[in-house]
Structure 1
């Protein structure tokens, strides 16, 4: 099922809400929530598939840096992280790293 199909199904359900009774409305709300969850999963999957991949040459460079990480310059460490990390989200309680690999 693709995103356009899911959106079409949601639109059909919303269009049929006119004159619906409470039982039907409840059923439609559940179905719309399921379809919306599916849509969000598809969007996430597409985003993950389009993430920049790391080339074999970049892997070799990174491996070399890891062997001497303590002596690597700050700029080189930043370059390595730019290759490996998409986002870093932090709160006072936790940190979430989204990896590119």
Structure 2
């Protein structure tokens, strides 16, 4: 809920930029930076909570998949990735993976 609120606040600030003067632009820039930092902290907390939510059975299942990864079905590989990765950000220059573990 709080993450949605922060996103909403950022959107409101961006929408308010139409016709803004330099003082208002400066204020909005600082406020967006603060909200973005807060958003990143919330995302990090969510990722940490998600890690704690992985059951021992899931860990055992993942371990079993890793031993036979080449023969694991695509759907099972996707499930493993869903359990282990929070985000993947790819550009032409870089690849950034945020792991849950």
**Does TM, scored on the shorter chain, surpass 0.5?**
yes
Q: Does 1:48 align with 2:44?
A: yes
2:58 is the counterpart of 1:58: yes
How much is the aligned-residue C-alpha RMSD, in angstroms? 3.2
Counterparts of 1:35 and 1:91, CA distance in 2: 27
Q: What does residue 73 of structure 2 align with?
A: 73
TM norm structure 1: 0.56
What residue ranges of structure 1 are gaps of 5+ in the alignment?
1-28
Change (3 A) 1:48 1:74: same
CA distance in 2, matches of 1:42, 1:89: 20
TM-score of the superposition, structure 2-length normalised?
0.56
Match of 1:83 in 2: 83
- Higher alpha-carbon deviation: 44-53 or 82-91: 44-53
**In the TM superposition, what is the alpha-carbon distance from 1:84 to its structure 2 partner?**
0.8
Q: Which has the larger radius of gyration?
A: 1
Shift >3 Å, 4+ stretches: 33-43
Residue of structure 1 equivalent to 2:16? none
**Partner SS state of residue 98, structure 1:** strand
Q: 5+ residue gaps in structure 2? A: 1-25
Aligned residues: 80
